[in-house]
Structure 1
Amino acid sequence: MDSPVWDDPNYLKLWMFCLMRATHKEREVLVGNQIITLEPGQFVTGRKSLTEELNKGMKPKHKQSEISWWRYLNNLEKWQMLNIKKTNKYSIVTISKWVDYQDNEQQLNNKRTSNEHQMNTNKNVKNVKNDKELFSSSSDHDFAGVFQFYQSNLQKGVSESPYNTELISQWFDEWGKDLLLAAMKVAAKKEAKGVSFVEGVLKKWKEAGVKTIEDARKYQLEFNSNKPNYQSNVVKIPNYESGDSNARNHERDSKPSGYVKLYK
Structure 2
Amino acid sequence: MDSGWVKLHRKITDSRVFQNDGLFKVWIWCLCRASHKKEWVILKTGKGNIEVEVEPGQFVFGRNSASKNLRMPPSSIRNRMEKLKNIGNLDIKQDNQYSLITIINWHTYQVIENKEDRKEDKQRTGKGQAKDTYKNDKNDKNDIKHIVEFMNSILETEYKTTTAKTNQLIHARLNEGFTVENFKTVILKKHKEWRYNPDMVKFLRPETLFGVKFESYLNQHENNPEKEKLEKIQTAIEYLTEKEVERKSV
Output the TM-score relative to the length of structure 1: 0.42
More helix by share: 2
Which of the pair has the greater relative contact order for Cα pairs under 8 Å at 6+ separation?
Answer: 1
Output the TM-score relative to the length of structure 2: 0.44
